[in-house]
Amino acid sequence: MEAKLYKCIKDGKTDYTPIWFMRQAGRYLPEFMEIRKKNPDFIKLCLNDRLSAEISLQPIRRFDLDAVIIFSDILMIPYGLGQKVEFKKGIGPILGDLNFNVILNTKTKDFIEKLSPIYKAITIVKKNLKNKNLIGFAGAPWTLLLYMLNKQSPKNNFDINKIIKSKSLMRDLILKLEDIIFLHTKEQVNAGADVIQIFDSWAGLLPKDKLSEYCYIPTSKIVKNIKSLEVPVICFPRGIGDNYSDFCSAVKPSCISIDYEIDPKQIKEKLHGTPIQGGLDPKILLGPKEEIKKNVEKYLDAFKDYPYIFNLGHGVLPETKPETIEYIIQIVRNKK
Ligand code: CP3
């Protein structure tokens, strides 16, 4: 039997609302914190197949979710390409200097070997799943390029002209990323992932006249390749506002994940049947129950006759109480 999230995307089903949460594995779960405390090196934890599989499965031990997302990180790609990546408490990721020669000359075989514990973790998770989808993921070329060049989160100190210095170098890096992102997702599919999500968390930092070159075109090539494996692709170009429908026309994702700035009713009219995922502001989960219910219902109502996967408009925040996740699942399950 095909799991329901896959069916919603593939067949455009509207009679059931699958549910999962971005960043459901990690951060807010006490059982994750316990493992994390004993494993101070985050990269090493991502490369521990047994523990990564365990963390991926933690959310479905507690909650009635339709999918598991593999516990890993988008920055495992720069790491696999030979750039130093560290995660500092209270700061976030810090990357080392970028050596273009090392990156552009990384061999496929070496990359796969370095990241092989991730694929092994997927095979372990797959064995423990029944009637649920297993989501593999990668960062989109633009978001990865941004971390690789900026060497930290672009939250505070972003200047696009400092990022895009040499056009020809950018082109080479993007082409390398297109290849390696597809390779990484293909390995995840071979290991057992049956849906892929592409996170373009910083797409919203691109000015409109650069969206095509840095976001749509590179992403569309990856999406086309993943679709050729008969695996659906969910794209999350966070923060692109009015450009969501242009993104869908250019990239043709199997499903589009919307952020919380998007009006659900309006977007539904514009996307002509492309399945939609997400939307709810993760900050709502920190507030009172009545507000949560009202907002969950806003999305359920807007998409009641449309293929829709319930999710948030960005990842679960670390402050979120596990009971709140449970509460939302109940509302979604009990909808008429
Ligand atoms: O549950 C899941 O979704 C699976 C695991 C997952 C992680 N990162 C684990 C993680 C996924 C899908 C990601 C994606 C990711 N990583 C994105 C795209 C989604 C988004 O949130 O926009 C981005 C931009 C990153 C890069 C990254 N990794 C940052 C900025 C940080 C630090 C802040 C944070 O988000 O916690 C990380 C660290 C990270 N990745 C943690 C986890 C569980 C926390 C590590 C810790 O415990 O210190």
- Residues 136, 186: contact at Cβ < 8 Å? no
Read off the pLDDT of residues 264-318 as tens digits, 9 standing for 90 and up.
Answer: 999 999 998 999 999 999 999 999 999 999 999 999 999 999 999 999 999 999 9
Which residues make Cβ contacts (< 8 Å) with residue 166, sequence separation at least 6? Answer: none
pLDDT for res 163: 79
Whole-number percent of the chain with pLDDT over 90: 92
pLDDT for res 89: 86
Atom of ligand 1 nearest to the CA of 22: 3
| 69: its two tokens | 């997302």
The total of other beta-carbon atoms located within 10 Å of residue 289's CB is 11
pLDDT for res 156: 72
- The residues lining ligand 1, judged by C-beta closer than 6 Å to any ligand atom, are 22-27, 36, 42, 69, 71-75, 87, 92-93, 137, 153, 199, 201, 315
- Kindly list the domain boundaries of the chain, sorted by start residue: 4-334
Atom of ligand 1 nearest to the CA of 153: 30
- Give the H or E element holding residue 330: helix 322-333
Q: Which residues of 57-90 are buried (b: 16+ CB within 10 A; e: fewer)?
A: bbbbeebebbbbbbbbbbbbbbbbbbbebebeee
SS3 content of the chain, % helix, strand, coil (to 5): 50, 15, 35
pLDDT for res 264: 97
| C-alpha–C-alpha distance, residues 33 and 216, integer Å | 37
Q: Is 277 exposed, middle or buried (0-12, 13-18, 19+ CB in 10 A)?
A: buried
SS3 134: strand
- What CATH number matches the domain at 4-334, 1.10.3720.10, 3.20.20.210, 2.40.50.700, 3.40.50.1220? 3.20.20.210
Q: Which of 73, 94, 134 to mutate to test the pocket of ligand 1 (most atoms within 8 A of CB)?
A: 73
pLDDT for res 1: 63
Per-residue pLDDT band for 16 (boundaries 50, 70, 90) equals very high
Q: What is the CA radius of gyration of the chain?
A: 19
| C-alpha–C-alpha distance, residues 41 and 32, integer Å | 14
On average, the pLDDT of the chain sits at: 96
| C-alpha–C-alpha distance, residues 5 and 23, integer Å | 17
Read off the pLDDT of residues 184-229 as tens digits, 9 standing for 90 and up.
Answer: 999 999 999 999 999 999 999 999 999 999 999 999 999 999 999 9
Q: Which of 20, 22, 23, 48 to mutate to test the pocket of ligand 1 (most atoms within 8 A of CB)?
A: 23
| C-alpha–C-alpha distance, residues 184 and 75, integer Å | 12
